[in-house]
Amino acid sequence: MERELDRFPRVGDLIAVLGNWTLGDGPLYRKLADAMARAIEDGALRAGQRLPSERELAKALAVSRSTVVAAYDELHTRDLLERRQGSGTRISRTARAARSDGRVSGGRGTATFQRLIDGPGPVISLACAADAGVPEVAEALDEVARYDLPDLLADPGYQARGLPALRAEVAEYYTDQGLPTSADEVLITTGAHQALVLLSEVYLRGASTVAVEAPSWQPCLDVFRAAGADLVSVPLDDEGIDERRLAAVLAEQRPSLLYVMPTFHNPAGVLMSGARRRRVAELAARHDVAVVEDNAYAGCVLAGDGAAEIPPPLSAHLPTGTESVVVESLKSVWGGLRIGWIRGPRGIIERCARRKALADLGGPLIEQALAARLFPRLPEIVKKGAVERAQRCEQAERLLTEHLPGWRWRTPDGGSSLWVSLPDGDADVFAQIALRHGVEVIPGSTMDPTGAHDNYLRLPFMQEPEVLEELVRRLAEAWGDLSRHGPGEDEVRARTIV
């Protein structure tokens, strides 16, 4: 009987391992064979593992079946694949992998993480929705060098909880929002992602269930899966997580954790209303479930007459005794700072601090001193950024309306992306065609395991104006190819990006 580990879990996971396999010269079948050979060598594909059928992989990659057959034949001649009647196509038992996996694997967030490692390459990548750094970073850095560096250098440099000055700034930031906070209720982390990793280690020991929004951002979901948690999806509406469906999930599933993104949800761009926040807080208290409130995009405001006022954090509505933490970062200032934090009860902060000390002994202090200098400037930075963000969003919407009139989206309340619905299209298939036109698309299936958003894709719009124009032009060409020919046509129709 075949063991579960012998099968590749989903064809989408295999595609994530292959990455931008269409780049370079030569026929598609050879590029596909080369990409699979690299994955075998790196250890991302294991000896004895059964691969999808030619027809299944061809459909997922939007190529002809003959392309996959030829790729499998090529790998067979290299002694990397073996075929047996009744057991399908497998990685050869004699294939030798590297001593350790050289590529990121283990979830649908694979492509996003690997893109950060590989760099942008010749494609326009939509894997990351991050802004360029603001000019104020340079000004604050000069102040750190002038005034803060002597005291920093006098410190041994190991602050597992974070620089006290920065923790005090974060505490004041939440107190001003109606969530009274002290510095010992704050832990500084290496970005919001590390904050989620630490919280998953604290909350998800043993068999656990996490209630999450659908859609949600797949690297965050992969953090919970890596901790062994089962995920239960709750849909969104225009005010945030659906409160009726959430009530049912909390009553029936009794999850260990509720993970929500109230302020500018990623990828949907929804701002949870104040009324919805109060209702979610009531439900969490009634069912005694801890809440992780991820507001990493809180500073990514869109200016305009219809811009909504941001309500106090969801945690501010929770009654005493209901456990909650807030995760946030300086993403709107510059993701390259890698400054995030957790705001929560002292006991949770203490447990997370122990795990952070084990991971890295504490984050770099110069960056934290820089962040402390930037905090008083945040309101002005957010205000200026909101104008540019609104302009880029408007440009992206105008270009899509002009070149892809059948695509649909809701203008986001905030954030850095459009959550786009494709008409009668499978975004996984379109992603493969778009890749051959030089655009890396993250399809909706990676962000919602229920299948409800398989025809969606996330389109980050914080690009330079000329890049946005080229991006939409390439997407329109790819959509035209899909509309005219459909997936799986002869590879001579596919374009090679050199």
pLDDT at position 170: 98
Tell the residue number behind the tokens 């899909």, with chain if given.
482
Residue 101 has pLDDT above 70, yes or no: no
- For the segment 309-351, what is each residue's pLDDT rounded down to a tens digit? 899 999 999 998 899 999 999 999 999 999 999 999 999 999 9
Residue 7 has pLDDT above 80, yes or no: no
Q: Which amino acid is at 51?
A: L
Q: Which residue has the higher pLDDT, 128 or 110?
A: 128
What is the rounded distance in angstroms from the CA atom of residue 486 to the CA atom of residue 425?
10
* 296, 263 Cβ separation under 8 angstroms: no
Q: Which residue has the higher pLDDT, 261 or 110?
A: 261
What is the rounded distance in angstroms from the CA atom of residue 297 to the CA atom of residue 45?
35
Share of the chain above pLDDT 70, in %: 89
Residue 42: CB partners within 8 Å, gap ≥ 6? 97, 98, 101, 102, 103
Structure tokens at 387: 């104008």
Rounded mean pLDDT, 230-255: 97
Which residues on neighbouring strands pair with residue 442, listed in sequence order?
Answer: 458
Does residue 415 come out as left (phi exceeding 0), alpha (psi in the -120 to 50 range) or beta?
Answer: left
- For the segment 372-399, what is each residue's pLDDT rounded down to a tens digit? 999 999 999 999 999 999 999 999 999 9
Residue 488 has pLDDT above 90, yes or no: no
- For the segment 123-162, what is each residue's pLDDT rounded down to a tens digit? 899 988 778 899 999 999 999 999 999 999 999 999 999 9
Signed CA dihedral, 128, 131, 132, 133: sign only: negative
Identity of the highest mean pLDDT range in 94-103, 367-376, 440-449, 481-490: 367-376
What is the rounded distance in angstroms from the CA atom of residue 142 to the CA atom of residue 397?
38
Instruction: Set out the domains of the chain in order of their start, with CATH numbers.
Output: 4-91 (1.10.10.10), 110-133+384-493 (3.90.1150.10), 136-379 (3.40.640.10)
Residue 284 has pLDDT above 80, yes or no: yes
Q: Which of 49, 71, 75, 46 is nearest to 58 (CA)?
A: 71
pLDDT at position 128: 83
Which residues on neighbouring strands pair with residue 187, listed in sequence order?
Answer: 342
What is the rounded distance in angstroms from the CA atom of residue 119 to the CA atom of residue 335?
15
pLDDT at position 131: 81
SS3 70: helix
Rounded mean pLDDT, 438-448: 93
Model-level pTM? 0.84
Taking CA atoms, 343 is separated from 315, 326, 352, in Å, by 10, 5, 11
| DSSP summary character for residue 97 | P
What is the rounded distance in angstroms from the CA atom of residue 352 to the CA atom of residue 476?
46
Q: Which residue has the higher pLDDT, 230 or 86?
A: 230
**Residue 416 φ/ψ, nearest 5 degrees:** -130, 10
Structure tokens at 37: 């050979």
pLDDT at position 496: 34
pLDDT at position 11: 82
Secondary structure of the chain: what % helix, strand, coil (to 5)? 45, 15, 40
pLDDT at position 104: 45
Q: Which residue has the higher pLDDT, 13 or 257?
A: 257
- For the segment 250-269, what is each residue's pLDDT rounded down to a tens digit? 999 999 999 999 999 999 99
Tell the residue number behind the tokens 């059948």, with chain if given.
406
